[in-house]
Structure formats: C-alpha cells, structure tokens
Structure 1
Amino acid sequence: MKFSEIKSCYIGPEVSPEQFIPEHFFLFLAKGKMDYFDGSKHYTLHPGEYCIVRKNNLARYNKQKENNYFEKVIILFDETFLRSFEEKHSVIFNEFESKNAVFKLDKNFFIDNFIQSLQPYFEISGRINDSFSDLKREELLLILLKQNPELSGIFFDFNAPGKINLQEFMQKNYKFNVSIDRFAYLTGRSLSSFKKDFKEIFNDTPSHWLVKRRLEEAHFLMKEKLKKPNDIYIDLGFEDLSHFSFAFKKQFGFSPSEVR
C-alpha cells in the first residue's frame, strides 16, 4: 500500500479549529502540501512527511491540494491520554530545548509502517473505530519515544506557560486571530494582570493596539511591498475583507485601494 492510498483521518478527542493549539498532535501528510507559520518561522510539509505540533503555541496553516486532493492523518495526544500513558509506562522525562511550535520528524521505517497499519481501521467518516483509537495512539507514542526519547520533554510537560516578556511576545504574535484570554494565558498571566501589564508597556488596551498594529503592517505591505488587500487581510488576523477595509479607512482616512 502506498501513502497516496491513505485517506484523511482523525484520531483522538475533537478540538476547536483555531490558531491556538490546545493539545499536542501528530500530523502525517498523504496528499497535497501544507505550510505552517508560528509567528517567526515557516514550515512546509510534503506528501509522506510528518511532524509534531506542540500545544500552548500559536500557529496558522495553509493547505494546497494535489490533483484536487488534500489528505492527512492527525493523531491527537491530549493531556488525559498522556497522563494515563505516563503512569502505565513509567516514562523517563528528558528536557527538550527547542521552543518551536512545529517539530518535523525524520523519515522512519516504524512510523511509515504505523501509518500503513491504520488503513483497515478507517470508517466512512474518516475516523478510526473508537475500539482501536487509544490502542493506535499508544502504539504511535511508543514508536515516537523509542526513536526520539527527547520528545518526552514535549509530551509530558504538563505545566502551564510561565510568565514571559509580554512586549516581545505580542510583537511576534500580533497577527494571530485569537482572544485576549489566549494571549494572557500564553504569556503566563491572568487576564487582569495581562491588561495591567499591557497598559504599562504599550499605553493602550490590547484590543485597540492589536487592530492598530495589524493595520500599520497592512499599510507597509501594500505601500512598500505592493501587496493587495485580498492577499494579506487573513494573514494579519482579520476575519473578512470588508472588516479589514472598514478598519483601515477608519485608521488612515482612506481605503486600502487608495494606498499609493
């Protein structure tokens, strides 16, 4: 069986499709192309490649079809599952130095064979039968830890994000369309502490500053890089073009199409 015959499937609990990553997951790409952006670095996944996407990070992805197909396998490692696994297997914790949101894995015979082994368990819905879901997740995690022992430092670190440099974090991640609560959590602060610290640093509210900062970047991209509004509004955290255009005109006094 070839990788091209693998169909899209999802193993593990459902998570909301947002730019905040609440749980670790393994991603295998069968068909198409996927680009990830974590605020500072771009990652590209091609057919037959796989990676770990780490929780408590912000990331945005863009998918491209291949011959009108885009198929992937996502296996979620939620905290409940990981705590149970850790207790069962007496995991040895290793420090993991990299803080990147995406960790690409080298091609591996055992992982390739594991992907192929999923085929008999696919249901019409694209999910793995619940009777086998946890067994297959456990099998994959054992393989990953055998081949990359340092991954224990990712999977079994259950601590909430610690307090970090707020100014540096916001300047890196202002393009992500997530709630203020998420930004507060990721900087290791309560919502009230986040707003207080934010005011002291930026002399502004988070919501107002985010819109202003995104629009400043939009103006730069259109004027200096000759980008079109339709090409940038999503990447800058705006949900639709009309909202972007309205906010832009309110900020600068002229529409995006009038930028010279």
Structure 2
Amino acid sequence: MSTLVRKTCYIGPEMSIEQFIPEHFFIYMVKGTLNGYVGNKEYSLVAHESYLVRKNQLGRYNKPAQGEEPEKVILVFDEPFLKKFQERHEVTVEKRMTSEAAVWLRADERIPEFIHSLQPYYTGSGKIDSSFSEVKREELLLLLLQTQPELAGILFDFGVPEKINLEEFMNRHYTFNISLQQFAFLTGRSLSAFKRDFKAIFHNTPNRWLVQRRLQEAYLLIHKLRKKPAEIYIDLGFEDLSHFSFAFKKQFGLTPTELAALKKL
C-alpha cells in the first residue's frame, strides 16, 4: 500500500486539516506518525491507527521533518453524502456519547483490508478513480457503523454549533488564520452578532485584536524563548513573513529579526 500512497490520498471533497474542518473525515495512518491537535486536545496518530475527526473544529498538525512525511488515507464524509446514505440505509441514530474532537476507532482487521482494497482504483498522485469514490466511501461507512454504531450520533447530527463562550474560544484559537465568518460560525453566532459581542468583551474590533494578540505572542516567543521569526509566523496566523515583519515593526518599533539579534548581544 505504501508504494501507492503519495503523502496523502483523499477520497471525497479535498480539504485542508490545518485550519477549519468543515466536514467529518476518516483518517488512516499507512506509515509514520502524525502529531497535532483538533479542538483543545493533542493527538498522535501512528501507523495502522484510524480516527474519525468531527466537523466544525479547528485543527492543525505539526510539519514533519524533511524525508519523514507520513503516508495517510483520508475519506471525507461530507453532509450531502451522509444525507444520501441516510436515505438509502436504515440508520439508528443514538444520542452522541462523546464530545471528543477525534474519535479513536477500535482495531478491526477489516479496516486495513479496506485500505488495501483501494489499490486497484488509484490513478496516480494519491487520487482514486472518481467513479468508485462514493462506492468506497459507502463501503467504509457501513463497516464503521457495524463496528461502532454509536458513531451515527456524530455523523448524522446536522445541527450547527451552539452559542459558546466567545472570550474563552478566541483566547484559545487566535492563532488560526480563518475568516471572521468562520470564527462567528464556530462560536454559534451570525457575523453581526459576533462583531457586536466581540466589541463588548474585548473593546476592539476582531481584526485589530487578532493582529495585536498574535504580535504579543510573537514578541514573547522571540524575546523570551529565542524562537526564529521564520519558525513562528505561520503558526501565529500570518500569511507571509514580510507582512509579519511589517506589522511587528509597526507595533514594537523594530523588526522581528532586529529583536532576535538583540537577544544575541
């Protein structure tokens, strides 16, 4: 199997798991280890383990060292697919028993056998023949529901996030480079309600607060922990190093590189 998988094989709508997770997905580690976190918890996935990751979460994985990138297979269970599946099959939906962002799937010899069964359908570069994509996703979902019926309570919950504590959420997730609309959605608010509540709590606009909070964290990492600017700007939510340097100098009067140089004196 590992000779056919190139870094990541996606089946279903392709998406990034480094920021906002819009749909449930199944992940199976073919080779190597993947470290990161989803929601507020850290996870470490090792070879031959699989998880179901819930939608409407923020997640990020740590970039592996060059030459050590793991191989993984991801099947996305998007809402249109799940609704069609529910119409075709009699699915008993139990109350969701866990709030875990990622649910470990019990070992079952049929899961690696399923992963191996994908081999004939690869078309190259980690892609699978689209003619078989929905069939293979349905096959896997039937297997998972037979093994762990309680997963139905997660997969077939089509509700939207409930309103949560905005201050707590933002102080935990300010480093994520997502849109204000996505922040609003994840906190259970319309965009206008999000901006109104944000102003009342932080006495600032979301955009200004996010930049200032990220810059404060950057200063701490460089000044106290001696981190290199190029190592931290992406993880702090900045899109490029030049924008990070410009904003940093505007806030503190010197560039991140200049601050780092001072620490060496």
After TM superposition, the score normalised by the length of structure 1 is 0.91
TM-superposition CA deviations, 1:185-205 (whole Å, max 9, x none): 111111111000000000000
CA distance in 2 between counterparts of 1:174 and 1:67 reads 31
Say which of 5, 8, 12 aligns to 1:7.
Answer: 5
- CA shift for structure 1 position 31: 2.9
Q: Residues 68-88 of structure 1: CA distance to partner in whole angstroms, max 9, x if unpaired?
A: 664321111010110111122
- 1:181 aligned partner: 181
Answer yes or no: is the 8 Å Cα contact 1:6–1:71 preserved in 2.
no
Please say which of residues 119-128 and 178-187 is displaced more in the overlay.
119-128
- TM-score, normalised to structure 2, is 0.89
Count of matched residue positions in the alignment of Structure 1 and Structure 2 = 258
CA displacement at 1:39 relative to structure 2: 5.3
2:104 aligned partner, one-letter code: K
**CA displacement 1:197-227 (0-9 Å, x = unmatched):** 0000000000000011111111222222222
Q: Closer, same or farther in 2 for the Cα pair 1:97/1:228, shift >3 Å?
A: farther
Change (3 A) 1:187 1:68: closer
TM-align CA RMSD: 2.1
Greater mean deviation of Cα atoms: 186-195 or 31-40: 31-40
2:244 counterpart residue number? 244
Question: How is 1:97-246 mapped onto 2 (pairs within 5 angstroms)?
Answer: 97-246=97-246
Moved more, 67-76 or 46-55: 67-76
Q: Determine helix, strand or coil for the equivalent of 1:4.
A: coil
Unaligned runs of 5+ in 2: none
Distance 1:18 1:69 in 2: 15
Secondary structure at the aligned position of 1:25 is classed as: strand
Structure 2 SS opposite 1:112:
helix
Percentage identity across paired residues of the two chains: 56
Q: Distance in 2 between matches of 1:228 and 1:147?
A: 47
Q: Distance in 1 between matches of 2:24 and 2:127?
A: 18
Q: Which whole-Å CA distance do the structure 1 matches of 2:125 and 2:164 have between them?
A: 42
CA distance in 1: counterparts of 2:107 and 2:115, whole angstroms: 12
Deviation (angstroms), 1:115: 0.7
Q: What letter corresponds to residue 248 of structure 2 in structure 1?
A: F
Structure 1 window deviating more from structure 2 (169-178 vs 20-29): it is 20-29
Structure 1 residues 190 and 134: CA distance shift in structure 2, 3 A: same
User: 2:17, 2:59 within 8 Å by CA — same for their partners in 1?
Assistant: no
Residue 33 of structure 1 contacts residue 63 of structure 1 at CA under 8 Å; is this kept in 2? no
Preserved contact between residue 17 and residue 60 of structure 2 (Cα < 8 Å): no
After TM superposition, give the deviation of residue 21 of structure 1 in Å. Answer: 0.9
1: CA distance, partners of 2:65 / 2:254? 37
